[in-house]
């Protein structure tokens, strides 16, 4: 590389997104980039010329290691969607002018579906206007719902946390109840895709029976059948543990969480929070079956739990960041780096680049054949798919009993 690189992060936080940032930074530096800038809060901040020189923050090799272990977007995130080019060219011209001013050769954006839409539009506009900056996307989402890539960085660590915590909840649950029966409903993130909820099956092993039932949002949920299944299981076991996706809904389209009377929230991105699915089902079962119930939400913890990250995930996130810079350096633009699995066992995986037009705004769901016939559990194929992605640990750098992170730019949190 001969000029500068700028990198941004967008969408929901993960435990691995900063490992991709570390990969971008290191590879850009290794390939001769003069400066590596970080946009603060993605394109939204860039439009206000908010950015930092990453060398001011990543000063040592230890800092690179800390960054890999730091959860959530180090540079801050955004949910900014660019207008269609024909609607408003002005915003594109402003972005390109800022890139020119900073002498940017490559623009790397780490994110999910919406972020790939940004890469698509910017690279299209650069082609139209003959602008030389190259735009490359770097996949990131715990939801694992990006098309054309075998999986997404961030998913493996979330799945490992979910499998581990689910196992701990199962232990907790069945020591509690002596005779009457206790039904624990655990709510997992995932509005449309059940990849995270399915990962609760990882709790199952020689030493644990795993959750009793798993419901993904891909398949319509039947309240009555659910109640009957729980009753049936309670005939032989005193503790029943159920994993449900926040996005499960009835045949008629109504979300389960909308059936109850829990307080409604709008999340930080303005989406209606699908909170209360577990709470509603716990209350439903208490009424139908007459046993004790409890509702547990993994909540934010599942996406930012760096202390329980998967080594495979953190390394792949780092590789993907490096591969994005390499692709830009080799002349690619309008592409996203994808992970291509070569084999399950032994697990082998490499990177490629694919046309971002085929990825943006698409959503990869769990295949129907990876869920059992009546939609109440994932199959062995699902577990074989996810198992390699949770292997290995990334020892946190412990300081005084708590994992150390790389200190985030002060500009992020202060007005």
Region 142-161 residues binding a second copy, contact defined as CB under 8 A: 160
Three-state SS for 349? strand
**Any contact of residue 224 with a second copy (CB under 8 A)?**
no
Find the part of the chain contacting a second copy (CB under 8 A) among 88-96, 134-142, 222-230, 401-409: 401-409
Shortest reach from residue 177's CB to a second copy, in Å: 6
Edge to edge, what strands does the sheet with 213-215 contain? 213-215, 239-245, 182-188, 292-297
Do you find a cis peptide bond into 154, omega within 30 degrees of 0? no
Q: Distance between terminal CA atoms of the chain? A: 35
Number of residues in contact with a second copy under rule CB under 8 A: 95
Residue 155 C-beta: closest distance to a second copy, Å: 13
DSSP reduced 3-state for 187:
strand
Which parts of 122-141 interact with a second copy (CB under 8 A)? none
Residues 6+ apart with CB under 8 A from 379: 369, 370, 371, 372
Which residue is catalytic, options 56, 103, 114, 143? 143
Q: Which of 296, 320, 371, 378 binds a second copy (CB under 8 A)?
A: 296
Q: Which is nearer to a second copy, 77 or 319 (CB)?
A: 77
Of 268, 209, 280, the residue nearest 244 (C-alpha): 280
| Stretch of 31-39, 130-138, 261-269, 349-357 lying at the interface with a second copy (CB under 8 A) | 261-269
| Least distance in angstroms from the C-beta of 335 to a second copy | 26
Cβ contact 74:408 at 8 Å: yes
Residue 337's φ and ψ, nearest 5 degrees, are -75, 135
Rounded CA separation 285/161 (Å): 27
Residue of the chain from 23, 163, 322, 334 that contacts a second copy (CB under 8 A): 163
For Cα atoms 170, 195, 236, give the angle at the middle one, nearest 5 degrees: 30
Asked about 143 being catalytic, the answer comes back as yes
Which of residues 90, 266, 343, 346 is near a second copy by CB under 8 A?
Answer: 266
Does the footprint of a second copy cover residue 298 (CB under 8 A)?
yes
Site for a second copy, residues 381 to 400, rule: CB under 8 A: 387, 390-393, 398-400
Scanning residues 5 to 34, which ones bind a second copy (CB under 8 A)? 9, 13
Q: Is 343 in the site for a second copy (CB under 8 A)?
A: no
For residues 232 and 358, which CB has a smaller minimum distance to a second copy in the complex? 232
Pairing type for strands 104-111 and 4-9 reads parallel
Closest by alpha carbon to 109, among 378, 314, 287, 359?
Answer: 359
Rounded to the nearest angstrom, the gap between the alpha carbon of residue 47 and the centroid of all alpha carbons in its chain is: 25
Shortest distance, position 6 Cβ to a second copy, whole Å: 18
Work out which of 5, 6, 52, 75 binds a second copy, going by CB under 8 A.
75
Which residues are known to be catalytic? 143
């Amino acid at each position: 590389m001969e000029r500068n690189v700028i990198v941004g992060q967008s969408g929901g936080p993960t435990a691995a997104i900063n490992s991709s940032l570390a990969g971008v930074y290191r590879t850009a530096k290794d390939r001769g980039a003069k400066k590596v800038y970080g946009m603060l809060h993605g394109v939204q901040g860039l439009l206000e010329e908010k950015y930092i020189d990453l060398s001011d923050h990543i000063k040592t090799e230890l800092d690179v290691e800390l960054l890999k272990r730091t959860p959530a977007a180090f540079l801050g995130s955004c949910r900014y969607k660019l207008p269609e080019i024909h609607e408003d060219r002005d915003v594109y011209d402003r972005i390109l002018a800022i890139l020119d001013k900073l002498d940017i050769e490559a623009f790397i954006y780490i994110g999910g579906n919406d972020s790939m839409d940004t890469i698509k539009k910017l690279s299209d506009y650069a082609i139209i206007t003959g602008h030389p900056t190259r735009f490359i996307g770097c996949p990131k989402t715990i939801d694992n719902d990006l098309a054309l890539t075998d999986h997404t960085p961030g998913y493996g660590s979330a799945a490992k946390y979910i499998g581990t915590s689910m196992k701990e909840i199962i232990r907790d649950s069945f020591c509690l109840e002596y005779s009457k029966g206790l039904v624990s409903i655990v709510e997992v993130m995932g509005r449309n895709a059940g990849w995270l909820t399915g990962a609760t099956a990882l709790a199952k092993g020689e030493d644990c029976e795993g959750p009793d039932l798993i419901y993904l949002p891909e398949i319509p949920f039947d309240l009555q059948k659910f109640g009957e299944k729980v009753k049936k299981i309670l005939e032989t076991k005193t503790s029943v543990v159920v994993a449900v996706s926040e996005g499960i809904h009835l045949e008629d389209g109504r979300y389960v969480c909308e059936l109850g009377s829990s307080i409604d929230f709008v999340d930080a991105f303005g989406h209606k929070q699908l909170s209360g699915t577990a709470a509603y089902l716990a209350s439903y079962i208490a009424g139908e079956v007459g046993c004790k119930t409890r509702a547990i939400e993994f909540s934010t913890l599942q996406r930012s739990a760096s202390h329980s990250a998967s080594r495979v995930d953190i390394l792949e996130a780092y590789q993907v960041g490096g591969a994005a810079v390499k692709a830009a350096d080799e002349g690619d633009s309008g592409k996203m780096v994808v992970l291509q699995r070569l084999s399950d066992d032994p697990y082998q995986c490499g990177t490629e680049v694919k046309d971002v037009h085929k990825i943006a705004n698409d959503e990869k769901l769990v295949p129907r054949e990876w869920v059992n016939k009546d939609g109440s559990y994932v199959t062995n194929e699902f577990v074989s798919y996810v198992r390699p992605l949770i292997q290995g640990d990334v020892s946190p750098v412990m300081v005084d009993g708590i994992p150390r992170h790389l200190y985030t730019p002060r500009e992020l949190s202060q007005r």
